[in-house]
């Protein structure tokens, strides 16, 4: 039942005579008009004015609708008791009693329960959009089990993504390597989506309006990645008052404050800082130091310069620092790791909407990244590898709807960097996909192995103009999107030896969509994509300055069925042809790194998704896939590091009365490949056993299955809202193998199991 606050400024005798009971009112049939009834309707918990709410008095003889500020004024009501009814499509019905008195203006503020604004939508379903795209709304995601309410972690539940070990955040999309999928925030590239490989997202979910996964076959607005694209769109800060939240759980604390200043300006500021370092020592063994710290921030300013112009200024960044000291279980020396990675971004965005429906958006940005920085001490040996990158970028897009059947899109995508590599490490450098190595591919520096130094500076400038036409024929039943992107990549090294290389890379792409009926649509796309080698790979000491861009061709075809207005089913098949992949040289005269590796990825996926219906939403996604690589001509094909044949996800959430909501998620995934150890010898100098590995990724871990549940309880007060939640991962404590560890002499392998039953309890207060 809604809460009503009545404001009476004066008390007069007449009112006292008229007020006592409803029965007495009936005894005085004299109708006396009172002062106006002035009211406003707001949402409970966030105080948002509710527009277009029907206000009905008594039997509905007097009605009015709230204005944009949620206000209403009813004149000429008779003195006495009335029941005021509030009705609207987005609110729960509310009925309030009010007494009107002569010469006594009555003001009422009503807080109503606003229905959950689930927008369980798959963006890109309209005929004039990208053919392969998954978008889930942040409100929906917040209740998915296993994500701790983190919007950006929910992307891992979509089809096509490999399951990340330890529920981490790696983005292996449709069998592509980890670095092949690019992440954009408001159109600007960011180096990492998650803190510490998946713990939390680096952009506060509260500022995110949508998260879009483009697993392949995406359009010409994006490029430079052989895998997929993840797009984060932040929202404009709210301008309807001051709002915010504070949240705390065992992992971190976060908060947001946002609001409007005047009619045109709004701001939003969010932060997050880790707290888990205070709890971890209680779970760790002696002689072990593990000190993770992270924080991130976002500051967004929005200015509505005119009805046709929006200006945004967005500063955001993320910082992860980790110090680890651990005992080598094979009897080696004590290892110490110091890792510090971060990025900072500043972007300005101007969007102009022309009278004819055209739009122009330009986004210059700048930033500084240290995407990787690791210092390692093993005995007297010290090693480090630090990548630093000063970046600047410009993205400009012009959309022009020429007619109902024709649309033009053109733009420019430019990114420049000044990259520095400072490294002192073993000659093999960092682990690469395809390497043999210890658990999860990581091999600690070996003090008895060769140590080399390099300091490299590389300037990169990548510019890509692009155009696309969208042609809708036969009453938009057939949509054809021919596209072209001309990617030009340049690399200039200034130290230690200068080099310069460039490549002009045409990237034609085509998407077609056929609407067979109002229920069934077919879609297909093919496109060429290129990706620059990792800039550190241009090191003359650890890589090859002559590397050239890698290439992929994506082929995608699918069908979409709208079985009911809220139930969508879509299935698609895909094939990726990967060429000129950077691999290690193996011949005596080969450079340390060279192009020439090839790959192929093929598979299919299906997603059946129920939007909010009778308080329930959920989906089932299934992917069957094979991802293979051949590093050198003549080599046998091998599977990719995260090749997962079957990926099944079932999730659902149900809203119960009284502010309760429960959800669950079940996953079944084929185990990851790993490289087995076939034998080992004892290395006297390093007093540890050295493994000898078999063929890369020739063994596979057992399959993974896990059930997560989540329960929320929301307490709604007039001015704020409190949510308590418990998110329990692995409810039946499944022992899923995430890797293989060995006895000191490598004779006894054992599985390293993933996270056990893990409850996360937290609270979130919003206002």
Backbone angles phi, psi at 139, to 5 degrees: -65, -40
Token pair, residue 353, equals 């909407």
Cβ closer to another protein: 1 or 450? 450
Cβ closer to another protein: 245 or 343? 343
Cβ closer to another protein: 290 or 366? 290
Nearest CA among 263, 322, 330 for reference residue 293: 322
List b or e across 471-499, with b for residues whose CB sees 16 or more CB atoms inside 10 angstroms: ebeeeeeebebebbbbbebbbbbeeeeee
Reading phi first (left if > 0) and then psi (alpha if -120 to 50, else beta), residue 217 is in left
Q: How far apart are the first and last CA of the chain?
A: 20
**Least distance (Å) between residue 432 CB and another protein:** 9
**Least distance (Å) between residue 109 CB and another protein:** 49
- In the block, tokens 């995508």 appear at 413
**Least distance (Å) between residue 686 CB and another protein:** 9
**Least distance (Å) between residue 627 CB and another protein:** 17
**Least distance (Å) between residue 640 CB and another protein:** 13
Token pair, residue 17, equals 């005579």
Separation CA 294–CA 298 (nearest Å)? 14
Cβ closer to another protein: 63 or 735? 735
Separation CA 363–CA 414 (nearest Å)? 10
Token pair, residue 650, equals 């079932």
Cβ closer to another protein: 191 or 268? 191
Cβ closer to another protein: 323 or 461? 323
Name the pairing type of β-strands 106-112 and 94-100: unpaired
Cβ closer to another protein: 72 or 693? 693
Instruction: List all residues 6 or more positions away from 41 whose beta carbon is below 8 Å from its beta carbon.
Output: 49, 50, 53, 55, 66, 70, 71, 72, 86, 91, 110, 112
Cβ closer to another protein: 281 or 357? 281
Cβ closer to another protein: 99 or 742? 742
**Least distance (Å) between residue 442 CB and another protein:** 4
Separation CA 725–CA 710 (nearest Å)? 7
**Least distance (Å) between residue 292 CB and another protein:** 8
List b or e across 133-166, with b for residues whose CB sees 16 or more CB atoms inside 10 angstroms: bbbbbbebbbbbbbbbbbbbbbbbbbbbbbbbbb
Separation CA 436–CA 674 (nearest Å)? 9
**Least distance (Å) between residue 444 CB and another protein:** 9
Q: 468 burial class (0-12, 13-18, 19+ CB within 10 angstroms)?
A: buried
**Least distance (Å) between residue 73 CB and another protein:** 57
> Are 668 and 703 contacting, i.e. CB atoms less than 8 angstroms apart?
yes
**Least distance (Å) between residue 283 CB and another protein:** 5
Cβ closer to another protein: 250 or 608? 250
């Amino acid at each position: 039942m809604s809460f009503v606050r009545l404001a009476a400024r004066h008390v007069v005798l007449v009112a006292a005579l008229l007020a006592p009971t409803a029965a007495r009112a009936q005894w005085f049939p004299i109708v006396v008009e009172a002062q106006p009834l002035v009211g406003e309707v707001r949402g409970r918990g966030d105080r948002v004015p509710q527009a277009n709410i029907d206000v009905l008095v008594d039997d509905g003889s007097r009605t009015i609708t709230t204005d944009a500020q949620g206000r209403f004024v009813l004149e000429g009501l008779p003195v006495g008791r009335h029941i005021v009814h509030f009705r609207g499509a987005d609110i729960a019905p509310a009925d309030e009693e009010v007494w009107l008195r002569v010469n006594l203006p009555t003001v009422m503020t009503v807080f109503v329960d606003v229905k959950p604004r689930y927008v369980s939508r798959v963006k890109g379903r309209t005929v004039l959009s990208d053919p392969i795209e998954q978008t889930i709304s942040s409100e929906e995601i917040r209740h998915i089990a296993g994500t701790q309410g983190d919007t950006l972690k929910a992307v891992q539940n979509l089809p096509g993504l490999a399951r990340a070990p330890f529920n981490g955040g790696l983005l292996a999309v449709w069998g592509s390597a980890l670095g092949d999928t690019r992440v954009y925030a408001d159109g600007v590239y960011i180096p990492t989506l998650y803190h510490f490989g998946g713990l939390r997202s680096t952009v506060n979910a509260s500022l995110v309006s949508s998260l879009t996964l483009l697993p392949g076959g995406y359009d010409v607005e994006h490029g430079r990645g052989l895998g997929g694209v993840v797009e984060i769109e932040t929202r404009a800060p709210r301008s309807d008052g001051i709002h915010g939240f504070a949240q705390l759980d065992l992992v971190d604390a976060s908060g947001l404050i946002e609001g409007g200043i005047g009619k045109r300006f709004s701001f939003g500021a969010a932060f997050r800082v880790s707290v888990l370092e205070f709890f971890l020592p209680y779970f760790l063994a002696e002689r072990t130091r593990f000190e993770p710290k992270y924080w991130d921030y976002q500051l967004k300013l929005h200015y509505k310069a005119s009805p046709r112009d929006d200006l945004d200024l967005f500063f955001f960044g993320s910082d992860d620092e980790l110090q680890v000291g651990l005992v080598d279980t094979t009897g080696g020396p004590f290892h110490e790791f110091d890792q510090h990675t971060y990025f900072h971004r500043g972007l300005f965005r101007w969007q102009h909407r022309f009278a004819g429906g055209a739009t122009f958006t330009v986004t210059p940005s700048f930033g500084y990244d240290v995407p990787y920085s690791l210092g390692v001490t093993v005995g007297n040996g010290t090693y480090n590898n630090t990548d630093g990158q000063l970046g600047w970028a410009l993205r400009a897009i012009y959309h022009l709807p020429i007619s109902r059947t024709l649309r033009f899109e053109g733009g420019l995508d430019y990114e420049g960097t000044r990259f520095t590599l400072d490294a002192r490490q073993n000659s093999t450098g960092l682990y690469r996909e395809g390497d043999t190595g210890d658990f999860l591919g990581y091999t600690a520096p070996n003090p008895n192995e060769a140590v080399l130094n390099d300091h490299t500076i590389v300037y990169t400038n990548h510019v890509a103009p692009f155009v696309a036409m969208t042609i809708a024929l036969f009453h938009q039943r057939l949509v054809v999107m021919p596209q072209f992107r001309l990617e030009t990549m340049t690399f200039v090294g200034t130290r230690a030896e200068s080099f310069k290389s460039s490549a002009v890379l045409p990237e034609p792409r085509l998407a077609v969509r056929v609407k067979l009926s109002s229920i069934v649509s077919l879609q297909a796309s093919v496109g060429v994509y290129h990706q620059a080698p990792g800039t550190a790979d241009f090191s003359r000491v650890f890589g090859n300055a002559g590397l050239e861009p890698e290439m992929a061709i994506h082929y995608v075809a699918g069908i979409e069925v709208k079985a009911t207005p809220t139930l969508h089913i879509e299935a698609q098949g895909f094939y990726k042809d990967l060429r000129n992949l950077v691999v290690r040289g193996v011949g005596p005269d080969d450079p340390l790194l060279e192009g020439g590796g090839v790959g192929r990825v093929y598979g299919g996926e299906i997603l059946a998704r129920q939007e909010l219906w009778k308080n329930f939403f959920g989906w089932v996604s299934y992917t069957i896939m094979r991802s293979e690589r051949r590093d050198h001509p003549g080599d046998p094909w091998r599977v990719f590091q995260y090749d997962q044949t079957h990926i099944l996800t079932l999730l659902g959430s149900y809203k119960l009365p009284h502010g309760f909501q429960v959800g669950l998620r079940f996953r079944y995934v084929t185990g990851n490949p790993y490289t087995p150890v076939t034998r080992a010898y004892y290395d006297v100098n390093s007093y540890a056993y050295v493994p000898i590995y078999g063929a890369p990724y020739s063994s596979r871990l057992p399959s993974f299955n896990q059930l997560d549940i989540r329960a929320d309880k929301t307490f709604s007060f007039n001015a704020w809202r409190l949510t308590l939640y418990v998110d329990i991962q692995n409810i039946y404590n499944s022992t899923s193998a995430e890797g293989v560890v060995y006895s000191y002499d490598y004779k006894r392998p054992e599985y390293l199991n993933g996270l056990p039953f893990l409850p996360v309890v937290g609270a979130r207060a919003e206002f």
